[in-house]
Amino acid sequence: MSDHSLADARVEDRALITAVMHRYAAMAKEEADFAGMAVLYTEDATIRFPDGLEVGPHEMAKVVRGNEPKAIRHHATTIDIAFTGDTEAQVSTMYLAVTDEAAPDHWGRWEDRFVRQPDGRWLISDRSIVVDGAAPGGWLARHYGGG
């Protein structure tokens, strides 16, 4: 991150981006409202999953593959925001997922590019989901490998 990005407080922009990240974490649960989550992304956004699958914001339900855990909660922890221009930011958010099968079940980070919209909203235009680790025998490890 550049010194310039830290020196430029942009408090309102940081708050709006952080609000998107917390809304996503709150919605990324069992029986998720994928249509509601899609509004946090630009229409042409790309979401990359650790297994190489790439989907648009209206295709996120494909990833679950009908294998939802009975309970899952994502906890966003550190959110690092680096503004790369007036209307773009690179955001790295550490997350921890807890399921009914393991606590923690898996952890990693969301690597996002945010774009400010003409109405002032900040939306995710590109996301890479990185899994740094998973509990052996947990939901993610059993259904998607790893652990």
Sequence letter at residue 21: M
Confidence of residue 127 (pLDDT cuts 50, 70, 90): very high
Confidence of residue 33 (pLDDT cuts 50, 70, 90): confident
| Length, in residues, of the chain | 147
Q: Is a pLDDT exceeding 80 seen at residue 144? A: no
Enumerate residues 6+ apart whose C-beta is below 8 A from 81: 5, 14, 17, 18, 89, 90, 91
Mean pLDDT of all residues belonging to the chain = 91
Given a contact cutoff of 8 angstroms between Cβ atoms, the answer to whether 136 and 146 are in contact is no
Q: What is the pTM of this model?
A: 0.90
Kindly report the CATH number that applies to the domain delimited by 3-144. 3.10.450.50
Q: How is the chain split into domains, by residue range? A: 3-144
